[in-house]
Amino acid sequence: MHRIWAIIERDLRRFRRSPTLIVMSMLMPLVQLVVLGYAFGGKVKNLEIGIVDQDHGVPAIKLKEMFQAVAANARTFDTIAYHDQAVALHDLREGRINGVLTIPPHFSRKVLAGANPRVALVEDNTDQFSTSALGGALTELLATYNSPADPPRETAKVTLDMVEIYPYVPYIQYLLPGTITLAIFVSAMIGGGIIFIDDKARGLHEGYLVTPIRKFELILGFNLAGAIKAIIAGFVLVTVGSIIAGIPDPLNVLRLARMMVLVVVTALALISMMFLLMVRVSDPLVPRAIFGVLNTVLFFPSGAVYPTASFPPWMKAITVVDPFTYAVHGFKQLVLKNTGLMSISYDLAFLVGFTLLAMSAATLLFRRTL
């Protein structure tokens, strides 16, 4: 135990004296939380729609007024009046506006005659988020336009009443579980990957290998030292991240305690995975080179930024074996739903099993010689 503690002590003393390293391993995930959270989380607003009125009748004017009402209130879009459809379409192709709504000639006559009146929306479909927002807003607006001012009572019509059992979850809160996992991963990558290989290349491991320390003591020491640093990073993200993301009652002691259980288990899983990947590596460029790829392969298929239900089968296969998946799911349960540990028992069991497997494989592959 003395020997294992010696390795941990050495690593933690060095960590404490490298404030840049501490800041970097925690700052990057926090920046990602804030930037991605606000970049993806907000509603699409202030799109530009060109309106070409070729009718000029009263029903057309009513429709335009409804558009202007949306522009003035919800601000999903602003309207720009065009007299010439060709000019409007040219501006659309040039990217000056996001769509062109054309009210065709005889629109008013068809409305009054009840003869299937139509308006046309030409949209820039290269941006699916804007197209979707625009389509949704216009569909809603036309439904309102179509509904009679004095609707008859229709008892046979089925309507859906939706009840949300949790308070509204902004995207930044949805992203927080992934960000906590990412902070633990970055710390594991730096501590278990980059620093481990740098030390090896500098000959520091030679110093360990000539002592009577046993192979398993060495591996346990390296893993625990890396895990402690990752746990510190995880704790900061759990607390600071919850405050930044606006989680209700962010410093709830019981929830923090449950989350720390998951932080510890996740840290051990990720550091043992990293150690397994690096156990035979000696070139310091390797961990730096695979950092980005590993981050992408583990983070995005985990459901941290988008539901896994939408993934193709090959990506779902990654999701199943990716430790991120279980960490992110666990943190979602604890952060967004404030559940107990029983609801994440499967996640915890997977991560513990993964740790044991990775550490055993690393012990088998680890060479006690140079």
Partner 1 sequence: MSAVEVEHLTKRFGDFCAVDALSFAVERGEIFGLLGPNGAGKSTLIRMLTTLVPPTSGSARVNGFDIVRAANGVRQSIGVIPQAMTSDLELSAEENLNIFAKLYGIPREPRRRAIKTLLQAVDLEPWADKPVKMFSGGMRRRLEIARGLVHEPNIFFLDEPTTGLDPVSRVAVWDMLSRLKRERDLTILVTTHYMDEADKLCDRVAIVDHGKLAALDSPLKLKASIPGRNILEVSFSKVPAGWENTLRTLPDVAELKAEDHVFRLASHNGPRTTVALMEAARSANVTVTSLSVQSTTLDDVFVHYTGHQLRDALQAPATAESPYLMKRH
Q: Residues interacting with partner 1, by CB under 8 A?
A: 2-3, 5-7, 9-10, 13-14, 17-18, 198, 201-204, 206-213, 282-284, 368-370
Question: CA distances (Å), 43 to each of 46, 109, 134, 363, in order?
Answer: 10, 36, 11, 50
Is the Cβ of residue 46 or residue 282 nearer to partner 1 in the bound state?
282
Enter the DSSP assignment of 341. Answer: G
Is the Cβ of residue 2 or residue 118 nearer to partner 1 in the bound state?
2
CB of 225 to partner 1, least distance (A): 12
Residues in CB range of 5: below 8 A, 6 or more apart: 221
CB of 341 to partner 1, least distance (A): 36
Which of 43, 149, 47 lies closest to 101 in space, CA to CA? 47
Is the Cβ of residue 6 or residue 80 nearer to partner 1 in the bound state?
6
CB of 17 to partner 1, least distance (A): 4
Is the Cβ of residue 3 or residue 110 nearer to partner 1 in the bound state?
3
Is the Cβ of residue 1 or residue 163 nearer to partner 1 in the bound state?
1
Question: CA distances (Å), 188 to each of 151, 199, 209, 236, in order?
Answer: 62, 15, 23, 15
CB of 194 to partner 1, least distance (A): 11
Q: How far apart are the C-alpha atoms of 282 and 268, rounded to whole Å?
A: 22
CB of 201 to partner 1, least distance (A): 4
CB of 198 to partner 1, least distance (A): 6
Q: How far apart are the C-alpha atoms of 287 and 198, rounded to whole Å?
A: 10
Q: Token pair for residue 341?
A: 């540990």
The amino acid that residue 58 corresponds to is V
CB of 351 to partner 1, least distance (A): 30
CB of 207 to partner 1, least distance (A): 5
Is the Cβ of residue 2 or residue 157 nearer to partner 1 in the bound state?
2
> Torsion angle of alpha carbons 32, 35, 40, 44, nearest 10°?
180
Q: How far apart are the C-alpha atoms of 243 and 34, rounded to whole Å?
A: 11
Question: CA distances (Å), 114 to each of 59, 108, 150, 181, in order?
Answer: 12, 10, 17, 58
Is the Cβ of residue 90 or residue 200 nearer to partner 1 in the bound state?
200
Is the Cβ of residue 45 or residue 368 nearer to partner 1 in the bound state?
368
Instruction: Work out the number of other CB atoms within 10 angstroms of the CB of residue 299.
Output: 20
CB of 363 to partner 1, least distance (A): 17
What is the largest distance, in Å, between two alpha-carbon atoms of the chain? 96
Alpha carbons within 13 A on the beta-carbon side of 17? 5
CB of 365 to partner 1, least distance (A): 16
Is the Cβ of residue 18 or residue 125 nearer to partner 1 in the bound state?
18
Is the Cβ of residue 10 or residue 110 nearer to partner 1 in the bound state?
10
Question: CA distances (Å), 104 to each of 48, 49, 146, 240, 330, in order?
Answer: 20, 16, 17, 55, 54
| Torsional sign, CA 186, 175, 239, 337 | negative
